[in-house]
A and B are shown apart, each in its own frame.
Chain A
Amino acid sequence: MKFTRRQALGLTAGAAALGFTGLGSSLAFANAEDTEKRIMEFTGGKKPESGKITLTAPEIAENGNTVPISVSVESAMSGDDLVESVMILAEGNPNPAVATFHFTELSGEASATTRMRLAKTQNVVAVAKMKDGSAYSDTRQVKVTIGGCGG
């Protein structure tokens, strides 16, 4: 069997395209649905409302290895007005779970800061679970520039 130059080129391009799709599926990044599922498990099937919770993250993170994030929830932190836990999720990471903070009355305030890893530009979600069963969430998009020149 003999190929003309044009046919040979077409075949190579096709093979390359196949290679790419194969690679894409093997990376298996977490997606929005997986994140949604985790939120539902965390809140016990309740859809979180917006408000009360504030997630602070940089708009642009030059280094995806250490992205500072802060979360704070409006609460008296006593009696029934208590934040039990706050879960942080990253939609575009290989595994969306980042961390879960658990607060008590001794915390005084429901606020915490940490540093996280981000694989690529994506949404970061914080979900708060209150003692009375209600849930609140906030989302921030963080742009990740790899190479560190600020883009």
Chain B
Amino acid sequence: MAKSKPRVKVPKSAKAGEVITIKTLISHKMESGQRKDKAGKVIPRSIINKFTCEFNGAKVFECDIDPAISANPFFEFTAKVSEPGTFNFIWVDDDGSIYTEEKKIEVN
């Protein structure tokens, strides 16, 4: 399949202690394992099964994903920022591939 391309939206800067909203999207067909091809054979499941967001190495948000999540999985969640640092975003594919993205944030 086409390479999964993550897209993440994080504000460039925030006030200390502010709760910011993060939006993430990754291109992935999220084959549910329920569909059948033209010959009537079940198309095997192939999804992203886990998404994690970390800030300076500490876990912020994590999601266990089941096949009922739509293609190109989208997540919006919040994070409390008290210091400048880096957000790391990690997606884990059923086939073992890992897709990552990072975003820096300033605190003023």
- Residues on A facing B (Cβ under 8 Å): 65-67, 70, 77, 90, 93-95, 97-109, 111-118
Contact residues on B (Cβ < 8 Å of other chain), bracket: 20 to 34
Q: Distance (Å) between the CB of A123 and the closest chain B CB?
A: 14
Are B61 and A116 interface neighbours, CB within 8 A? no
- Please judge, given known A-B contacts A94-B34, A111-B78, whether A100 and B63 are in contact too, CB under 8 Å: yes
* Cβ contact of A99, chosen from B32, B55, B59, B63, cutoff 8 A: B63
Contacts of B2 in A (CB 8 A): none
- Is residue B90 contacting chain A, with contact meaning CB distance below 8 A? no
Are B77 and A116 interface neighbours, CB within 8 A? no
Task: Report, nearest first, the 3 A-B pairs whose CB atoms are least far apart.
Answer: A108-B80, A108-B19, A113-B76
Are A90 and B77 interface neighbours, CB within 8 A? no
- Please judge, given known A-B contacts A97-B68, A106-B58, A107-B80, whether A113 and B75 are in contact too, CB under 8 Å: yes
Contacts of A70 in B (CB 8 A): 76
Contacts of B32 in A (CB 8 A): 117
**Contacts A104-B61, A106-B55, A109-B78 known; 9 new A-B pairs at CB < 8 A:** A66-B70, A70-B76, A77-B80, A106-B58, A109-B19, A114-B75, A114-B76, A115-B73, A117-B67
- Residues on B facing A (Cβ under 8 Å): 19-20, 32, 34, 55, 58-71, 73-80
Measured in the bound complex, the distance between the Cα atoms of B21 and A66 in whole Å is: 21
Q: Distance (Å) between the CB of B22 and the closest chain A CB?
A: 10
Are A115 and B61 interface neighbours, CB within 8 A? no
Are B78 and A104 interface neighbours, CB within 8 A? no
* Cβ contact of B63, chosen from A90, A101, A111, cutoff 8 A: A101
Are B34 and A107 interface neighbours, CB within 8 A? no
Are B77 and A106 interface neighbours, CB within 8 A? no
